Amino acid sequence: MAFLRLFVLVLLAPVLVVQAVRVRRATPRLPGAAGPAKGAVGAGHPLRIAVLGESTVDGVGAPTHAEALTGQLAGLLAEAGREVRWQAVGRTGATARNVLHELVPRLQPADVLVVVLGVNDTLALHSAARFRRELLEVVVAARRRLGDVPVMLAGVPPLGSFPALPRPLQDVLGARASALDRAVRALDRLPAVTYTPFAEDLLSPELFAVDGFHPGPAGYREWARVLAEGLPAVTVRRHSGDPPHPFDQVV
């Protein structure tokens, strides 16, 4: 089966290269979100949250970080009656290896970590085994820096449903994204690590930015809602003998 997939990929290679070049030329290059990449919202007992990853953490598709994924996530968590101090540590185009070496050292103290990766590793056609290994290295390095904090791993978005991509490029990248998403899910077995899948509802065309590739502010809010609903599950996976964690009181 693997040989058949490789054979088909080789046959499609010329078409895929042409489509990739056309998509790159035709797709608007949107900047990262403007404004501070950290802040605070709400009132009450403070919770520090860090979001680490690629262009969606950099806020591409939103005017400001407050309207992008991290700011919207912080706002939703603050509705539980907390002061949420947030930091967005992202870079457009970053793979898991880039994040490990360039972005993890920029993390500031946090009580919980959300990792959003996979799209650029998909575009680079990295194998699932490589991505799983490098994502694990990101989690381990981040915990060395932050301490034994709960970690949420966001599912890899299904590129096969992105409006900006034509077929068969859409099919090839969709299959690769699914493989990398399974690699993320495999790390869910680690203590205090939770995987939250990318919801199908987030693929509505009106939730995308004008590039058809990144979320717009409405898309970021809906994605933040999915992550916020899954965050309490992170602490449930902690060892029973562990001391209480500040995030345990969020809900």
DSSP 166-226: PTTHHHHHHHHHHHHHHHHHHGGGSTTEEEEPPPGGGG-GGGB-TTSSSB-HHHHHHHHHH
Domains and CATH numbers, the chain: 39-239 (3.40.50.1110)
What pLDDT is recorded for position 159? 82
pTM recorded for the entire structure: 0.84
pLDDT surpassing 50 at residue 7: no
- The predicted pLDDT at position 25 comes to 53
pLDDT grade for 65, boundaries at 50, 70 and 90: very high
**Across 46-54, average pLDDT:** 96
Express each pLDDT in 150-199 by its tens digit: 999 999 998 877 776 665 666 778 888 999 999 999 999 999 999 999 99
Closest CA to 153 of 113, 119, 191: 113
> Angle at CA 196, nearest 5°, toward 81 and 186?
140
> Residues in the chain, how many?
251
CA distance 75 to 68: 11
pLDDT given for residue 156 in this prediction: 95
233 pLDDT exceeds 80?
A: no
Q: Among positive and negative, which fits the CA dihedral 213, 214, 219, 225?
A: positive
Averaged pLDDT score across all residues of the chain: 84
Q: How far apart are CA 116 and CA 59, in angstroms?
A: 12
* Residue 49, beta-bridge partner list: 86, 112
